[in-house]
Amino acid sequence: MSSAPPAPVIDARGVTKSFGTNTVLRGIDLEVHPGQVVCLLGPSGSGKSTFLRCVNHLERIDGGRLLVDGQDVGYELRHGKLYELTERRIARRRAEIGMVFQRFNLFPHRTALENVVEGPVVVRRRSRAQVLERGRELLDRVGLADRASAYPSQLSGGQQQRVAIARALAMEPRLLLFDEPTSALDPELVGEVLDVMRDLARDGMTMLVVTHEVGFAREVADVAAFMADGVIVETGPPRQVLDDPQHERTQSFLARVL
C-alpha cells in the first residue's frame, strides 16, 4: 500500500446526474491529486456547481463512480457491493471536505469567530476554549484578526467570504471546494479573496475551484478543466487549455470571457 503512488483525492469516472428529464452531467471524468489546484471553467448551466455538489454529496449521482480519498461518495464498498451510507456517516465524511459558496452562507446569528469555531465545536466536539485560539489564528490568516466579534451583516462581501474560507479551514479538510467564490463580489473586493486562495494553494491545499476568473486559473491552477453540456471537453495545464484551446467550445467561451 505505502509504496503505491498517492491515490487521487477526487477520482470521477463517468459520473452522470439528472434532474428529472434534464440530464446535467453526462459522464464526468476528472482526477484531482493531493496538493493540486484544479480550476473548472465553463458556460452557465454546464453543470459545474452540480458536479461540485456531488463531490460532498449535497447531490446524489445517478451513474458512474465518484471516489474521494478512494471511497465512494455516499457509499461503502463491501463484498463487491455498494452499500448506501447512513446520514451520520455521510456527515462524518463531509467533515473532511470544505466548501466555500458563491453567496458565503455564513451563519448570520454568530460572529465571525463563532462561525469559524462552530464546526470544530459541534462536529469534532472540541471544547470551545481549545478552539478559540485556533479560530483567531485562522481569522488572522485571512486578514481579519480585528473583526473576530463582528456579525456577518457588519462585514463586506469580501470579508464575509474570507471568514467563510476560515470556517472551512477550521475543520482541517483534506480538500476544499469553491463554487464561484468571487462571483457575488464587487470587482474591487475580488482581489482580497483570490489572495487568500493563492496563499492556500501555495501551502499545498488540494482545491477544486469553479471560477470565471481566467487570470487566477492561469496563474494558480495546476490543471484547468473546461466543461460544457455536462462533460469535460478539455483538460490540461492552464497555459494549454486557456491560451491554446483545441476544442471549439473552449475557444468560443474564452473569446467571450476575455
With CB under 6 A, what is the number of residues at the site for ligand ATP?
11
Nearer to Mg ion by C-beta: 49 or 161?
Answer: 49
Among 31, 96, 137, 199, binds another protein (CB under 8 A): 96
Could you give the CA distance from residue 115 to residue 99 in angstroms, rounded to a whole number? Answer: 14
Please identify which residue in the block is written with the cell numbers 469553479: 210
Q: Give the range of 40-48, 143-151, 163-171, 236-244 binding ligand ATP by CB under 6 A.
A: 40-48
Q: Which of residues 161-180 bind another protein (CB under 8 A)?
A: 164, 167-168, 171
Using the rule CB under 8 A, is 7 a contact of another protein? no
Q: Which of residues 47-76 bind Mg ion (CB under 5 A)?
A: 49
Using the rule CB under 8 A, is 127 a contact of another protein? no
Taking the complex as a whole, how short is the minimal distance between the CB of residue 15 and Mg ion, in angstroms? Answer: 16
Using the rule CB under 6 A, is 211 a contact of ligand ATP? no
Select from 179, 172, 201 the least CA-distant residue to 104.
179
Torsion angle of the four alpha carbons 151, 199, 215, 206, in this order, in degrees rounded to the nearest 10:
-100
Among 13, 45, 77, 103, binds ligand ATP (CB under 6 A): 45
Q: Which helix (H) or strand (E) element contains residue 22? A: strand 22-32
Q: Where are the alpha helices (DSSP H) in the chain?
A: 48-55, 87-94, 112-122, 128-141, 157-169, 187-202, 214-220, 238-243, 248-257
Taking the complex as a whole, how short is the minimal distance between the CB of residue 234 and another protein, in angstroms? Answer: 28
Using the rule CB under 6 A, is 159 a contact of ligand ATP? no
The answer to whether 100 and 166 are in contact (CB under 8 A) is no
Produce one character per residue of 194-223: b if its CB has 16 or more CB atoms within 10 Å, e if not: bebbeebbeeebbbbbbbbbbebbbebbeb
Select from 39, 94, 40 the least CA-distant residue to 69.
94
Using the rule CB under 6 A, is 46 a contact of ligand ATP? yes
Nearer to ligand ATP by C-beta: 155 or 197?
Answer: 197
The answer to whether 206 and 175 are in contact (CB under 8 A) is yes
Among 56, 159, 160, 206, binds another protein (CB under 8 A): 56
Interacting residues toward Mg ion by CB under 5 A: 49
Interacting residues toward another protein by CB under 8 A: 56, 58, 87-88, 91-99, 101, 103, 105-111, 118-119, 122-123, 151-153, 164, 167-168, 171
Interacting residues toward ligand ATP by CB under 6 A: 19, 22, 24, 42, 44-50
